[in-house]
Structure 1
Amino acid sequence: MPYVQVDGGRRIFYAEEGSGPDAVLMIHGWGCDGSDWAWLMADLSRDHRCVAIDNRGHGRSAGVPGAYAPRAFAADALEVIDRLGLVRPVIIGHSLGTLIGSVLAVEHPEVMRALVLVDPVYHGEDARLAAVVDALRRAPHEVAAELYGDFFYSERTPSWIPIWHRRRLLGTDEGAVLGTIVGLQDGTDGLGRRVVAERYLPRRGVPTLAFYGGDKPAEVALERRLQRGPLDAIEFWPEHGHFLHQEAPERFATAVRRWLETLPDSGRPT
């Protein structure tokens, strides 16, 4: 069965494709599920073992009321790595998944080889995050759908993508829709807060490739300050939106492969 049991029997759904000496773990964003990575899996699975999970409370994975902070999501991903025997996978995260992957890169760098970030979301200002949470408390699905429409797409977004996203978002448990954003701004663990991220993220202990879409010069500037070594890199695609990996899947896969080729073969068992 394509489930990993975590945390006393709760189930995390995953899909797996391909095989090879190197593994990849793909982690989706808020209101999404592992199907976000279908295009990238089709490419990388030619020579990688690829696993895409549904985060807790999303897709086919069980939720945990009140427990949607980035560290909680990361604990699930860590168990998936262990239970599936993934040997130092490259972790690829989008949106919320960039926080989950970053927690693992700070707290457990020994379990992973590298980190790919797709339009990170650790730049939130406190007042803005608080206003979003207040609005979500009143109408989680409706406000979330408005946020998607207002901020996540570009002129290059195919018309079918927002329709697919909206259907999936509205099918996500409203507790997870609200709780995930609450977790982004919850005190010193709220990694969606810029003031927290600026202190925490410099501790990431693996090579990192970050993609940014849209008009985000300040966010890209922060990412440059977070870079730690010669293998760290940034791809800035201002003509694309938050789901740039879906808007330009072939270009995205090519860029990821090109960067992976620069890494040492440290993910391979000896």
Structure 2
Amino acid sequence: MFGGEINLFAGFEKINIELSGATIHAKVGGEGDPLLLLHGYPQTHMMWHVIAEDLAKSHRVVAADLRGYGDSVAHDGDFTFRAMAQDQVAMMRHLGYSRFHVISHDRGARTAHRMVLDHPDVVRSVALIDILPTLDVWRTMDDWLARRYYHWLFLSQPGNMPRRLINNDPILFLHSALIGLSGATELFDERALAEYERAACNPEVVAAWCGDYTAAATVDLGHDRADLGRTSLIPCLILWGSRGVVAHHLDPLDAWRAWFPKADGHAVEAGHFLVEEQPAEVLRTLTRHLQRT
């Protein structure tokens, strides 16, 4: 690890679960129905610190790092969403939870989508924050979107070129990514930002970013195409930032109802990082969603 982890989860236990293909790092706290929180790029589970303690008042909350991200470690080099989903299901089973709710953002939300497809009896409800289905992103990738999602193209380049460039100045790259998706780094708690920086300075995390986006441009597309037409009737909440990119080409609800016919949701006055930009509103909406399910 690169320096010591800052703990922003009061009353939560730190765990590291050894699995066949990865070691998954997480924080666990609270009592009630199990609830898994999954973060996105280029962050870690630390993004949930603004609402995790409130969610833990009614749920057993598990905030986990995806394989290769944060303090989780990938052992087998598989960064597909299928592998990421399998990790989280195995971790939750290790903790004694065969069924659970999932709240997820960005890459974590893509992992959650794959989890519902591969493990349909596991997820009780799902919240997907500020993404479109992966197939729709690639289908609508024009010049406007490519300028804003340039990292989709850059990180998926073959060889070690992206990693070498990023590792030359990982803090600069991280800040550029955060600003590009949100408009500013000032919206992040400085302690959380320090955790994102600590992770970015680990070359293995950078390798995971690249492996993740390479899989999303190749293997993951095949998995999703094979599942076109499959739907899930579990409760599904869709949230997106009104000042972000997600709703520019497509209506997010329409896009996700092709997979989740009962999906409901709305825009939040925010950019990409809704949870940290508008924690009170997001928490209220998530709480209502969980109460209904």
2:179 maps to which residue? 149
Alignment of 1:74-93 (within 5 A): 74-93=85-104
Residue 103 of structure 1: SS of its match in structure 2?
helix
1:139 maps to which residue? 165
Task: Give structure 1 stretches of 5+ with no counterpart.
Answer: 264-270
Conserved? CA contact 1:119–1:211, under 8 Å? yes
Residue 286 of structure 2: SS of its match in structure 1?
helix
1:96 maps to which residue? 107
Q: CA deviation at 1:254?
A: 0.7
Residue 51 of structure 2: SS of its match in structure 1?
helix
| Corresponding pairs, count | 255
Task: Give structure 2 stretches of 5+ with no counterpart.
Answer: 1-13, 147-151
| Cα distance change on mapping 1:113 and 1:162 into 2, 3 Å | closer
Residue 47 of structure 2: SS of its match in structure 1?
helix
1:174 maps to which residue? 206
Q: CA deviation at 1:221?
A: 1.2
- Specify the code of the residue in structure 1 equivalent to 2:91: V
1:206 maps to which residue? 234
1:3 maps to which residue? 16
Conserved? CA contact 2:25–2:71, under 8 Å? yes
Q: CA deviation at 1:223?
A: 3.2
CA distance in 1, matches of 2:64, 2:196: 20
2:28 pairs with 3, 13, 16, which one? 16
| Cα distance change on mapping 1:168 and 1:206 into 2, 3 Å | farther
CA distance in 2, matches of 1:124, 1:198: 17
Q: CA deviation at 1:220?
A: 5.2
- Specify the code of the residue in structure 2 equivalent to 1:93: S
Residue 29 of structure 1: SS of its match in structure 2?
coil
Residue identity (%): 22
Conserved? CA contact 2:155–2:209, under 8 Å? no
1:125 maps to which residue? 138
Conserved? CA contact 1:109–1:206, under 8 Å? no
| Matching of residue 234 in structure 1 with residue 265 in structure 2 | yes
| Cα distance change on mapping 1:164 and 1:35 into 2, 3 Å | same
Conserved? CA contact 1:4–1:13, under 8 Å? yes
Q: CA deviation at 1:200?
A: 3.8
Supply the RMSD in Å over aligned alpha carbons. Answer: 3.0
Q: CA deviation at 1:60?
A: 1.8
- Specify the code of the residue in structure 1 equivalent to 2:74: G
Conserved? CA contact 2:69–2:199, under 8 Å? no
Q: Which moved more, 1:52-61 or 1:160-169?
A: 160-169
CA distance in 1, matches of 2:109, 2:206: 22
2:279 pairs with 249, 261, 264, which one? 249
CA distance in 1, matches of 2:221, 2:189: 33
Residue 74 of structure 2: SS of its match in structure 1?
coil
- Specify the code of the residue in structure 2 equivalent to 1:177: W
Residue 275 of structure 2: SS of its match in structure 1?
helix
CA distance in 1, matches of 2:84, 2:107: 9
CA distance in 2, matches of 1:72, 1:97: 12
Q: CA deviation at 1:78?
A: 1.1
TM-score by length of 1: 0.81
Conserved? CA contact 1:92–1:116, under 8 Å? yes
Conserved? CA contact 2:81–2:111, under 8 Å? yes
Conserved? CA contact 2:36–2:100, under 8 Å? yes
| Cα distance change on mapping 1:222 and 1:31 into 2, 3 Å | closer
Residues 153-178 of structure 1: CA deviation (Å, up to 9, x unaligned): 46993584894465145234221121
Q: Which moved more, 1:80-89 or 1:93-102?
A: 80-89
Conserved? CA contact 2:16–2:23, under 8 Å? yes
TM-score by length of 2: 0.75
